[in-house]
């Protein structure tokens, strides 16, 4: 393997990433197949075995119908799934909680692409349980994290650089999403678009295309190549473009509602002083109660989206209520269910729920337009399809990716102009709000690229000319106090000073390494002998070390020992000051 490693590292960019792209693509394809059938098994075990329910599927996945079963047992299934998922995640890999994609983005920007080996396994099982038991979650985020974890592992195995490892996890994410969505082009482009709100990580594009194509080919060979929502054969009417602009505004507003409510619940549950093991189950109580009235909100929901595309809304269970009332509340119900399924600490994706919300909003707008302009709008299907992608284009800040996905998920180019208008409006209306908190605006603002921009100015900034901060913590203090200090400072890690040593040994403590050990002393969980910089070092050197460590600070020494810290914010402020001179 060592000779192979050396040969890989010496290859030129295209040759190297052709090989690596194929390897990651194979892993993504196999991982997606395992995860896909694991979800089916969990659905038969939980919803089928406990409730006697069968959820509908999309036409590209068998097009099965809805079997209601005993609705009163739905909460039992979802709560049990929440308990099991919470136990697996917080026992073995706490970073596997949530929706996956944001964790990948955070790893790219702040952790040099590092993902623990156990994360893909824990993510796959816990997400399959969440989805299979009826929780409102998608399968794209988990698939992306599974493939990204494998990409990170391959990068370590082949001893690639940190920059190459960051590329590898993006390639894995694109391949995973492109594979599970049967949208290889859109998935490849999403890999380079999703780290930023308005930029692209172009260095990952070529390997992402290769990996996504390979993963899609393997996955499709087993489950079929038909687009998820079948082939849309309708004809686009350009006269309707203003209506799609209005739809874009509506989906943009719902994108904001989706994001704000999701993170409101997420942050509230983070602050609750109860064991993380039980938080997903508490959320599942809300989801289970809501699912009795709205069974459409359970699991991935693609089958219900298919019924919306087909205009088969008479198939929706109404329990004696007017169908229009059900449809009005449906997008809100899905948003609430997703927040309480994933935002409470459960495991699953937010992309598929976003598609459902967008599709239901598109259905409402399509019905309204048909009532007002019956001769102009003869079918709601185009508005359902455009609505689901417009919402995610705005909510995820991935407008270009979803434009390609619409052609792949429906097998048609007909709606591309309508989608371009609607996605643009949704992106504009939703503003800076995003489902992926770890996104940054551009490459220039990413810690992964902090040493690539404006080096002359950074070289002239000397740390001895800047004010140092002492954000360190005494190694003898409890971990709970360190957590409190980090929250006060708004940071995820901080330096540790062991004052019992003659030369004041310096280390680091990070939130990501603290797992239910709040009563321990800081010294027991700290990483020791971290890299420090000299007081006469430049701003560029400091940023290089921050990038290497994945922090927003670096410890400074004067030759005799630790004297304080310099923060990223301090260097950026000095840089801006000199830039304006």
Claim to verify: residue 479 and residue 532 sit in the same structural domain? yes
Residue 493, sorted as left (phi over 0), alpha (psi -120 to 50) or beta, turns out to be beta
How far is it, in rounded angstroms, from Cα 57 to Cα 519? Answer: 48
In DSSP terms, 553 is beta-bridged to 567
Which residue is it, tokens 């890690």? 493
Q: Phi and psi dihedrals of 526, rounded to 5?
A: -75, 150
Which residue is it, tokens 């590209």? 60
> Do residues 316 and 296 lie in contact, with contact meaning Cβ atoms separated by under 8 Å?
yes
Least Cα distance to 36 among 16, 58, 3 occurs for 58
- Residue 442 placed within a domain: no
Strand order in the sheet with 533-534: 533-534, 553-557, 562-567
In the chain, the largest separation of any two C-alpha atoms, in whole Å, equals: 85
What pLDDT was estimated at residue 9?
67
Claim to verify: residue 538 and residue 402 sit in the same structural domain? no
Least Cα distance to 482 among 524, 531, 447, 437 occurs for 524
> Do residues 384 and 366 lie in contact, with contact meaning Cβ atoms separated by under 8 Å?
yes
In DSSP terms, 496 is beta-bridged to 473, 507
What pLDDT was estimated at residue 487?
82
Claim to verify: residue 398 and residue 460 sit in the same structural domain? no
- Residue 137 placed within a domain: yes
How far is it, in rounded angstroms, from Cα 336 to Cα 359? Answer: 16
Q: How far is CA 131 from CA 300, 328, 366, 370, in A?
A: 7, 24, 29, 34
Q: Which of 402, 430, 458 is the last residue of a domain?
A: 430
> Do residues 415 and 380 lie in contact, with contact meaning Cβ atoms separated by under 8 Å?
no
DSSP 473-533: EETTSBHHHHHHHHHHHT-SEEEEEETTSTT-EEEEEEGGG-SS-TTSBHHHHPEES---E
How far is it, in rounded angstroms, from Cα 342 to Cα 331? Answer: 16
What pLDDT was estimated at residue 234?
76
What pLDDT was estimated at residue 38?
96
Q: How far is CA 209 from CA 25, 167, 177, 179, 201, in A?
A: 9, 13, 12, 11, 13
Please return the burial class of 278, using the count of CB atoms within 10 Å of its CB with bins 0-12, 13-18 and 19+. middle
Number of folded domains in the chain? 2
Claim to verify: residue 386 and residue 297 sit in the same structural domain? yes
Which residue is it, tokens 């989706």? 258
CA 507 to chain centre: 31
Domain containing residue 560: CATH number: 3.10.580.10
How far is it, in rounded angstroms, from Cα 398 to Cα 197? Answer: 7
Q: What does pLDDT average to in each consecutive run of 10 residues of the chain (581 residues)?
A: 60 88 94 95 95 92 86 95 93 83 90 87 93 94 90 89 92 93 93 94 94 96 91 81 96 97 93 89 95 93 92 82 87 97 92 95 95 91 93 95 86 86 96 92 82 70 88 89 84 85 78 70 85 90 86 87 88 80 52
- Residue 435 placed within a domain: no
> Do residues 55 and 217 lie in contact, with contact meaning Cβ atoms separated by under 8 Å?
no
Claim to verify: residue 196 and residue 312 sit in the same structural domain? yes
Least Cα distance to 303 among 60, 109, 540 occurs for 60
What pLDDT was estimated at residue 407?
81
Claim to verify: residue 201 and residue 86 sit in the same structural domain? yes
Q: Quick one: tokens of 576?
A: 């801006």
CB atoms within 10 A of CB 87: 17
In DSSP terms, 138 is beta-bridged to 349
Q: Which of 396, 430, 464 is the last residue of a domain?
A: 430
Least Cα distance to 335 among 354, 308, 309 occurs for 354
Q: Phi and psi dihedrals of 509, rounded to 5?
A: -125, 135
What pLDDT was estimated at residue 519?
67
> Do residues 506 and 496 lie in contact, with contact meaning Cβ atoms separated by under 8 Å?
yes
- Residue 437 placed within a domain: no
What pLDDT was estimated at residue 356?
96
- Residue 391 placed within a domain: yes
Claim to verify: residue 122 and residue 163 sit in the same structural domain? yes
Claim to verify: residue 243 and residue 339 sit in the same structural domain? yes
Claim to verify: residue 367 and residue 339 sit in the same structural domain? yes
How far is it, in rounded angstroms, from Cα 423 to Cα 239? Answer: 18
Say what the alpha-carbon torsion angle 371, 403, 39, 108 is, to the nearest 10 degrees.
Answer: -140
Range of the domain at 215: 2-430
- Residue 54 placed within a domain: yes
Claim to verify: residue 398 and residue 474 sit in the same structural domain? no
Q: Quick one: tokens of 212?
A: 């996504």
Least Cα distance to 406 among 427, 424, 420 occurs for 420
How far is it, in rounded angstroms, from Cα 367 to Cα 381? Answer: 10
What pLDDT was estimated at residue 250?
97
Q: Phi and psi dihedrals of 557, rounded to 5?
A: -125, 155
Least Cα distance to 541 among 423, 462, 446 occurs for 462
- Residue 118 placed within a domain: yes
3-state secondary structure of 556: strand
How far is it, in rounded angstroms, from Cα 345 to Cα 87? Answer: 10
> Do residues 330 and 267 lie in contact, with contact meaning Cβ atoms separated by under 8 Å?
no
Least Cα distance to 254 among 326, 349, 356, 380 occurs for 356
Q: Which are the contacts of 180, defined by CB distance < 8 A and separation ≥ 6?
A: 32, 35, 36, 139, 140, 143, 219
What pLDDT was estimated at residue 405?
84
- Residue 443 placed within a domain: no
How far is it, in rounded angstroms, from Cα 434 to Cα 430? Answer: 8
Q: Which of 373, 395, 430 is the last residue of a domain?
A: 430
Claim to verify: residue 426 and residue 325 sit in the same structural domain? yes
Domain containing residue 31: CATH number: 1.10.3080.10
What pLDDT was estimated at residue 524?
85
Claim to verify: residue 465 and residue 337 sit in the same structural domain? no
> Do residues 160 and 67 lie in contact, with contact meaning Cβ atoms separated by under 8 Å?
no
Q: Which are the contacts of 139, defined by CB distance < 8 A and separation ≥ 6?
A: 35, 36, 39, 127, 131, 180, 300, 348, 349, 352
Contacts by residues 553-558 (CB-CB < 8 Å, ≥ 24 positions apart): 553/469, 553/471, 553/491, 553/493, 553/494, 553/495, 555/472, 555/495, 555/506, 555/530, 556/463, 556/468, 556/532, 557/506, 557/532, 557/533, 558/534
DSSP 288-301: HHHHHH-GGGSSS-
In DSSP terms, 534 is beta-bridged to 557
Residue ranges with strand state E in 200-343: none
């Amino acid at each position: 393997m060592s000779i192979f490693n050396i040969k890989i590292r010496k290859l030129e960019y295209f040759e190297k990433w052709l090989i690596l792209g194929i390897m990651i693509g194979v892993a993504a394809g196999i991982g997606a197949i395992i995860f896909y059938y694991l979800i089916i098994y969990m659905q038969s075990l939980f919803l089928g075995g406990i409730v006697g329910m069968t959820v509908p599927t999309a036409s590209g996945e068998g097009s099965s119908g809805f079997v209601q079963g005993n609705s009163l047992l739905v909460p039992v299934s979802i709560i049990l799934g929440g308990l099991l998922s919470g136990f697996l995640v917080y026992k073995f890999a706490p970073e596997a909680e949530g929706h996956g994609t944001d964790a990948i983005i955070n790893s790219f920007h702040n952790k040099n692409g590092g993902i623990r080996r156990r994360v893909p396994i824990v993510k796959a099982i816990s997400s399959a349980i969440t989805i299979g038991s009826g929780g409102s979650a998608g399968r794209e985020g988990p698939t992306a994290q599974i493939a990204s974890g494998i990409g990170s592992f391959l990068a370590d195995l082949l001893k690639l650089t940190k920059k190459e490892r960051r590329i590898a996890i993006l390639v894995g994410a694109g391949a995973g999403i492109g594979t599970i969505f049967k949208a290889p082009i859109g998935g490849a482009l999403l890999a380079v678009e999703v780290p930023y709100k308005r930029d692209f990580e172009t260095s990952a594009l070529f390997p992402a295309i290769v990996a996504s194509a390979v993963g899609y080919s393997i996955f499709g060979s087993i489950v079929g190549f038909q687009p998820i929502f079948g082939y849309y054969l309708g004809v686009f009417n350009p006269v309707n473009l203003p209506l799609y602009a209005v739809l874009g505004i509506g989906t943009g507003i719902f994108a904001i509602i989706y994001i704000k409510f999701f993170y409101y619940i997420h942050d509230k549950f983070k602050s609750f002083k109860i064991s993380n093991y039980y938080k997903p189950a508490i959320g599942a109580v809300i989801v289970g109660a809501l699912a009795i009235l709205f069974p459409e909100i359970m699991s991935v929901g693609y089958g219900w989206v298919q019924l919306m595309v087909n205009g088969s809304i008479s198939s929706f269970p109404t329990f004696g209520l007017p169908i229009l009332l059900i449809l009005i509340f449906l997008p809100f119900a899905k948003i609430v269910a997703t927040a309480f399924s994933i935002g409470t600490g459960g495991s699953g994706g937010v992309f598929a729920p976003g598609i459902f919300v967008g599709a239901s909003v598109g259905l409402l707008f399509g019905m309204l337009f048909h009532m007002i302009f019956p001769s102009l709008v003869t079918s709601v299907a185009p508005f359902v399809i455009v609505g689901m992608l417009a919402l995610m284009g705005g909510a995820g800040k991935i407008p270009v990716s979803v434009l390609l996905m619409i052609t792949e998920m429906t097998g048609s180019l007909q709606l591309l102009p309508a989608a371009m208008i609607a996605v643009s409006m949704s992106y504009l209306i939703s503003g800076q709000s995003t489902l992926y908190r770890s996104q940054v605006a551009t490459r220039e603002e990413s810690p992964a690229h902090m040493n690539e921009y404006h080096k002359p100015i950074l070289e002239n900034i000397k740390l001895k000319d800047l004010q140092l901060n002492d954000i360190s913590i005494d190694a003898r203090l409890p971990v709970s106090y360190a957590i409190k200090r980090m929250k006060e400072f708004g940071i995820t890690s901080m330096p540790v000073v062991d004052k019992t040593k003659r030369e004041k040994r310096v280390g680091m403590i990070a939130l990501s390494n603290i797992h239910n050990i709040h009563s321990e002393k800081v010294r027991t969980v700290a990483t020791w002998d971290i890299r420090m910089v000299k007081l006469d070092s430049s701003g560029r050197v400091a940023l290089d070390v921050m990038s290497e460590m994945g922090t927003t600070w670096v410890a400074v020494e004067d030759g005799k020992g630790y004297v304080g810290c310099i923060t990223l914010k301090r260097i950026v402020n000095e840089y801006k000051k000199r830039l304006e001179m």
